[in-house]
Structure 1
Amino acid sequence: MAQHAPPARGARLGRAAGANGSDSTVSGVVLLLPGAARFSPGPVRPLARALARAGGAQGLVTHTVVHGGPSSREDQARWAADEVVRRYGDVPVCLAGYGEGGRAALRAAGHGAVGAVVALAPCLGRSAPGGPEEPVKQLSGRRVLIVHGTNDPRSDPETSFLLAARAKKANRSTCRFEVHSDGHGLREHRSEVVALTVDFVLGSVSSGRYSRPVTDALAAPPPLGLRMPLASGFGRTPRR
Structure 2
Amino acid sequence: MNRVRVAGHRALAWRGATEGAVAAVLVLHGGQVTSERRPGPVNLPGLRMQGFARAVARETAGSVVAVGSVRYRYRGWNGDRADAARDAAAALCDLAEELGPVPTVLVGHSMGGRAALQAAGHQCVTGVVALAPWCPVGDPVAQLRDRNVLTLHGDHDRVTDPELTRLFAARARAAGARVAGYTVHGSGHALLRRSADWHRAAAELTAGLLGLRPLPVEVRDALALGPADPDGLGLALPL
What CA distance in whole angstroms lies between the structure 1 residues aligned with 2:26 and 2:204? 16
User: Are positions 1:45 and 2:50 aligned together?
Assistant: yes
User: Are positions 1:229 and 2:227 aligned together?
Assistant: no
1:96-117 deviations in whole A, cap 9, x for unaligned?
Answer: 1111010000011111111111
Alignment match of 2:165 (pick from 156, 160, 164): 160
- What residue is the counterpart of 2:21 in the other structure? 26
- What residue is the counterpart of 2:106 in the other structure? 95
Contact 1:30 1:60 in 2 (8 A): yes
What is the TM-score with the length of structure 1 in the denominator? 0.82
Matched to 1:112, the amino acid is Q
Q: CA RMSD in A?
A: 2.4
1:136–1:110 distance in 2 versus 1, CA, 3 Å? same
Instruction: List runs of 5+ in structure 1 lacking aligned partners.
Output: 128-132, 231-240
Contact 1:43 1:190 in 2 (8 A): no
- What residue is the counterpart of 1:110 in the other structure? 121
Contact 1:42 1:186 in 2 (8 A): no
Q: Displacement of 1:122 after TM fit?
A: 0.9
Q: Which segment drifts farther, 69-78 or 160-169?
A: 69-78
Contact 2:12 2:95 in 1 (8 A): no
- What residue is the counterpart of 2:15 in the other structure? 16
User: Are positions 1:182 and 2:182 aligned together?
Assistant: no
Q: Displacement of 1:32 after TM fit?
A: 0.8
Q: Which segment drifts farther, 3-12 or 211-220?
A: 3-12
Q: Which segment drifts farther, 79-88 or 194-203?
A: 194-203
Matched to 1:29, the amino acid is A
What is the TM-score with the length of structure 2 in the denominator? 0.82
Alignment match of 1:7 (pick from 5, 8, 11): 5
State how 1:67-216 maps to structure 2 within 5 Å.
67-69=72-74, 72-125=83-136, 127=137, 133-171=138-176, 173-207=178-212, 209-216=214-221
What CA distance in whole angstroms lies between the structure 1 residues aligned with 2:190 and 2:46? 7
- What residue is the counterpart of 2:34 in the other structure? none
Contact 1:150 1:179 in 2 (8 A): yes
Instruction: List runs of 5+ in structure 2 lacking aligned partners.
Output: 32-38
Moved over 4 A (4+): 37-43
- What residue is the counterpart of 1:130 in the other structure? none
SS at match of 2:182: strand
SS at match of 1:135: coil
SS at match of 1:14: strand
1:157–1:41 distance in 2 versus 1, CA, 3 Å? farther
SS at match of 1:75: helix
Q: Which segment drifts farther, 187-196 or 138-147?
A: 187-196
Q: Displacement of 1:7 after TM fit?
A: 1.6
Contact 1:4 1:82 in 2 (8 A): no
Q: Displacement of 1:39 after TM fit?
A: 6.2
- What residue is the counterpart of 1:238 in the other structure? none
What CA distance in whole angstroms lies between the structure 1 residues aligned with 2:47 and 2:220? 25
Contact 2:4 2:87 in 1 (8 A): no
Contact 2:109 2:133 in 1 (8 A): yes
What CA distance in whole angstroms lies between the structure 2 residues aligned with 1:123 and 1:163? 10
- What residue is the counterpart of 1:234 in the other structure? none
1:106-142 deviations in whole A, cap 9, x for unaligned?
Answer: 01111111111111111223x4xxxxx1111100011
User: Identity rate of aligned residues, in percent?
Assistant: 32
Matched to 2:97, the amino acid is R
Q: Which segment drifts farther, 90-99 or 4-13?
A: 4-13
